[in-house]
Amino acid sequence: MIFSESAANLRTSEIRDLMSLAGRDDIISFAGGMPDNNLFPINDINDIYNNFTTKEKQIAMQYGPTPGLPSLIESLGQYLKKKGLPVESNKILITTGSLQAINIFSKIFIDPNSPILVENPCFIGAISAFKSYQANIKSIELTKDGINIENLENFLTSSDKKPRFFYFTPNFHNPAGVLYSIDTKKKLIQLFSGQGIPIIEDDVYSDLFFYDEDASHLTPLKSINPQDIDVCYTGSFSKILGPGLRLGWMLVSPTIYEKCELVKQSFDACSPSFTQLIADKFLRTGKVYAYTKAVKEEYKERCLLMSKLLNEQLPDSIHFHTPRGGFYFWLSLPESINATDILKKAIKKGALFVSGKTFDPDGKKDNHIRLSFCNTSKEQIMKGIPKIIESIKELV
Amino acid sequence: MIFSESAANLRTSEIRDLMSLAGRDDIISFAGGMPDNNLFPINDINDIYNNFTTKEKQIAMQYGPTPGLPSLIESLGQYLKKKGLPVESNKILITTGSLQAINIFSKIFIDPNSPILVENPCFIGAISAFKSYQANIKSIELTKDGINIENLENFLTSSDKKPRFFYFTPNFHNPAGVLYSIDTKKKLIQLFSGQGIPIIEDDVYSDLFFYDEDASHLTPLKSINPQDIDVCYTGSFSKILGPGLRLGWMLVSPTIYEKCELVKQSFDACSPSFTQLIADKFLRTGKVYAYTKAVKEEYKERCLLMSKLLNEQLPDSIHFHTPRGGFYFWLSLPESINATDILKKAIKKGALFVSGKTFDPDGKKDNHIRLSFCNTSKEQIMKGIPKIIESIKELV
């Protein structure tokens, strides 16, 4: 009973409609937030599977411990440590996708009507999880450098009810593509220091940076490791290996870990051993590094091609920043324009995107368009983006 | 916040302790409810993986639809139809283990303090899920033929608050090993007919029957398809293929399905495509039939050997029925005896089991012992069961 049926329902049916369109051969889809099927490391997976010992194959078929296979927790720990994350003072829990991690956090932090704080726009999976626990979602808009700090400060000082947590995506935000500046991160830490408000940091895209010089901006809050903020960090294998494995993780303080492990146990006992073993080998053999390097190059080329087309052909009243990593362009239309109307036109022309209101926690603000470049070839981009631009021009 | 921390906590730490003991070489464990590592169909899985097309391997790595891969929903539908289940008038949702199905049902049916009805003893995973939604759990004891019908009738007529659902395990109950008689099932239908109380039917062991003549007793309530009871049926690949795949399913009415799909979407978006594809091929190639036939023969031999040892050596004051399928013996001790005391002695001798109170929703009633024969070879049974019997004899 504990979920907001009507709101979630609308989203589900919309997504179902979009997905059925996205599967049609005559539609070029910029809607999905999934890696390209043609880019999966199939040969690596073949190698990994064929090198499993019989004992490993047995482990793959068996229940594993609730927190994850010890071998994966170790190899993932090494992987995260290299990225500067405080692995030793925190604990890793393997989850069935990072959405499950968000769900677990929701279960331990939210009571019906609890206020929580998110960015606007916000990842739709998180919105749907938070709503399913009847959270009272407050949101603050994003700027090109991250959350609007001034509005955040106003909110924190004027709000009568302390939010149960702040949920944010610092690196290559979904849908907004934003990479938080170091300055915004520092201000975030100042604002939340000692407030007793945990921060959920959703960092599933940080490995997909296109420019080495951005490395310093990519530091998660969790790596800065502010001592008086409880940062609950979550990441995923979905963008660096494959979402079909359904594997994510959280890195959290031992106190929060204890509660999360209990919830995880009651949710699904453990995540799939079969895919955990694959992910473990993918990390241990170092294949992950060559693979992410290769896919980043491809995504960057697609991104720059899309940027070129949009820059050349979009009306001046449409604003966007070319992302420096991740999967998404986020086009801002004049306030009077409804992206859903544009979507209808685009579908008729044979192209698909997700309209802005999907990512508004209130399901209203609709003057944005999310364009994914993760799941379309350069040829499809060349063919499909003009269809989107034409549709926009008909209404703007 | 929405879970009963203390109760669940105790169980988690107990299970963790038991699991670490179960992994020790000098301990023979009759505690686990998992298939034997040596019995997994590794060669079948090799065949299946190596016959995947590149396109299938790509699907395996990708997100799938929330309700499950269409191909698996179809092949599972055929499998369930052969078992007499009403597949056409209901809908299948693939879940991340049947525990997730139980969790989804909990989320749609339970509000804090809602009364729900279960058997006593009851599957610990279900207890932990129900408690995590703060259910007010009422239980009625099992007899050798299923739930005590007289007490159930009294409960239903005298209780002032209607339970949100009745959860039960008709075939080779965990932990009690009980196979419901047809008569009990018929009486259940009479009692629940038109009451507006849904029944959650957890049927994960029915394929593991040892005697063909039991076939008629194995008919699930869902197959009888009573028109005025909403039976929410759940099953799993864990016992007929491998729990490491984390795949279960539900078969429910279209109305309940709609709600469950929403919850599933917010939980983990979809179950692992990788393992769904394996399960699909395991069904489609018919390997599942040869495999379950072979493992049943092995489990039956173990069961009969354990039965012989227990019959020969247990004191007369200990009662049990030799199971006709599934994984478990359930020993009833005199009421004054505490199974946890026996467990301490058994561990010292090098053998392990799960004590009764684990399966009591109130965590109290402790005069039972669950012995699994699924995860120990005949040699280990010969060596380990006498240790358990000795420990019992020291206290009875």
Place of tokens 């589900």: A12
Per the model's pLDDT, the better-predicted residue between A16 and A89 turns out to be A89
What is the distance in angstroms between the CA of the first residue and the CA of the last residue of chain B? 43
User: In this complex, which of A49, A62, A269 lies closest to B125 when CB atoms are compared?
Assistant: A269
Residue A112, min C-alpha distance to chain B (Å):
9
User: In this complex, which of A58, A96, A244 lies closest to B37 when CB atoms are compared?
Assistant: A58
Q: Quick one: which of B30, B18, B21, B14 has its CA closest to B371? A: B30
Tens of pLDDT along A177-190? 999 999 999 999 99
How many Cβ atoms sit within 10 Å of the Cβ of residue A89? 9
Question: What pLDDT does A356 receive?
Answer: 96
Q: Is A295 on the interface with B (CB under 8 A)?
A: no
Domain spans of chain B, in order of start: 5-41+289-395, 64-286
8 Å CB contact of B9 and A262: yes
pLDDT exceeds 90 at position A22 = no
Contact A189, A229 (CB under 8 A): yes
Listed by number, the residues of chain B in 41-60 with a beta carbon closer than 8 Å to a beta carbon of chain A are 42, 45-46, 49, 54, 57-60
**Residue B130: burial class (beta carbons within 10 Å; 0-12, 13-18, 19+):** buried
SS (H, E, C) B160-200: CCCCCCEEECCCCCCCCCCCCCHHHHHHHHHHHCCCCCCEE
**pTM of the complete model:** 0.95
User: In this complex, which of A110, A128, A242 lies closest to B265 when CB atoms are compared?
Assistant: A128
Q: Kindly state the greatest CA–CA separation across chain B.
A: 62
Integer Cα distance of B346 and B44 in angstroms: 38
Nearest CA in chain B to A279: B61
Listed by number, the residues of chain A in 97-136 with a beta carbon closer than 8 Å to a beta carbon of chain B are 97, 99-100, 103, 107-111, 125, 128-129, 131-133
Q: What ipTM was predicted for this assembly?
A: 0.95
CATH number among 3.40.640.10, 3.40.50.1240, 3.40.630.10, 3.40.50.720, domain B64-286: 3.40.640.10
Average of pLDDT values for A337-365? 96
Residue A165 φ/ψ region, left for φ over 0, alpha for ψ in the -120 to 50 degree band, beta for the rest: beta
Tens of pLDDT along A72-92? 999 999 999 999 999 999 999
Integer Cα distance of A102 and A264 in angstroms: 11
Q: Which one of A246, A263, A295 makes the best mutation probe of the B interface by having the most chain B beta carbons within 10 Å?
A: A246
pLDDT exceeds 70 at position A123 = yes
Residue A60, min C-alpha distance to chain B (Å):
6
pLDDT, mean over chain A? 94
Q: Quick one: which of B271, B207, B210, B240 has its CA closest to B34? A: B240
Query: What one-character-per-residue DSSP string does A174-231 give?
Result: TTT-----HHHHHHHHHHHTTS---EEEE-SSTT-BS-GGGGGGG--HHHH--TTS-E
Integer Cα distance of B233 and B230 in angstroms: 9
Contact A370, A330 (CB under 8 A): yes
Question: Peptide bond preceding B121: is omega within 30 degrees of 0, i.e. cis?
Answer: yes
Q: Which one of A14, A17, A52, A62 makes the best mutation probe of the B interface by having the most chain B beta carbons within 10 Å?
A: A62
Which distant-in-sequence residues (6+ apart) come within 8 Å of A23 by Cβ? none
DSSP E strand boundaries for A353-393: 354-355, 368-372
Nearest CA in chain A to B16: A65
Integer Cα distance of A390 and A28 in angstroms: 14
Question: What pLDDT does A8 receive?
Answer: 39
Task: Determine the distance from the C-alpha atom of residue B188 to the mean position of all C-alpha atoms in its chain, rounded to a whole number.
Answer: 20
> Which residues lie across from B393 on neighbouring strands?
none
Query: What one-character-per-residue DSSP string does A133-180 give?
Result: TT-EEEEEEEETTEE-HHHHHHHHHH-SS--S-EEE--SS-TTT----
> Angle of helix B124-132 relative to helix B5-22, nearest 10 degrees?
150
Question: What pLDDT does B19 receive?
Answer: 62
Question: What pLDDT does B24 receive?
Answer: 75
**What is the SS3 assignment for B234?**
strand
pLDDT exceeds 60 at position A143 = yes
CATH class of A53-285: alpha beta
Question: What pLDDT does A14 receive?
Answer: 60
Q: What is the CATH number of domain B5-41+289-395?
A: 3.90.1150.10
Question: What pLDDT does B16 receive?
Answer: 60
8 Å CB contact of A265 and B103: no
How many Cβ atoms sit within 10 Å of the Cβ of residue A75? 19
Contact A382, A305 (CB under 8 A): yes
Integer Cα distance of B329 and B322 in angstroms: 7
pLDDT in tens, chain B (396 residues): 433 333 333 355 565 666 677 767 789 999 999 999 999 999 999 999 999 999 999 999 999 999 999 999 999 999 999 999 999 999 999 999 999 999 999 999 999 999 999 999 999 999 999 999 999 999 999 999 999 999 999 999 997 889 999 999 999 999 999 999 999 999 999 999 999 999 999 999 999 999 999 988 899 999 999 989 999 999 999 999 999 999 999 999 999 999 999 999 999 999 999 999 999 999 999 999 999 999 999 999 999 999 999 999 999 999 999 999 999 999 999 999 999 999 999 999 999 999 999 999 999 999 999 999 999 999 999 999 999 999 999 998
Question: What pLDDT does B258 receive?
Answer: 97
pLDDT exceeds 50 at position A2 = no
Average of pLDDT values for A30-41? 95
Question: What pLDDT does B161 receive?
Answer: 87
8 Å CB contact of A244 and B269: no
Query: What one-character-per-residue DSSP string does A247-301 give?
Result: -EEEEE-HHHHHHHHHHHHHHHSS--HHHHHHHHHHHHTSHHHHHHHHHHHHHHH
A382: tokens are: 């060349």
Listed by number, the residues of chain A in 3-42 with a beta carbon closer than 8 Å to a beta carbon of chain B are 3, 5, 8-9, 12, 19, 34-35, 37-38, 40, 42
Integer Cα distance of A237 and A207 in angstroms: 10
Strands A28-29 and A354-355: unpaired
User: In this complex, which of A1, A9, A100 lies closest to B111 when CB atoms are compared?
Assistant: A1
Per 3-state DSSP, what percentage of chain B is helix, strand, and coil (rounded to 5)?
50, 15, 35
**What is the SS3 assignment for A111?**
coil
Tens of pLDDT along B248-268? 999 999 999 999 999 999 999
Q: Is A386 on the interface with B (CB under 8 A)?
A: no
List chain A residues with CB under 8 Å of B100. 267-268
How many Cβ atoms sit within 10 Å of the Cβ of residue A102? 27
Task: Determine the distance from the C-alpha atom of residue B47 to the mean position of all C-alpha atoms in its chain, rounded to a whole number.
Answer: 29
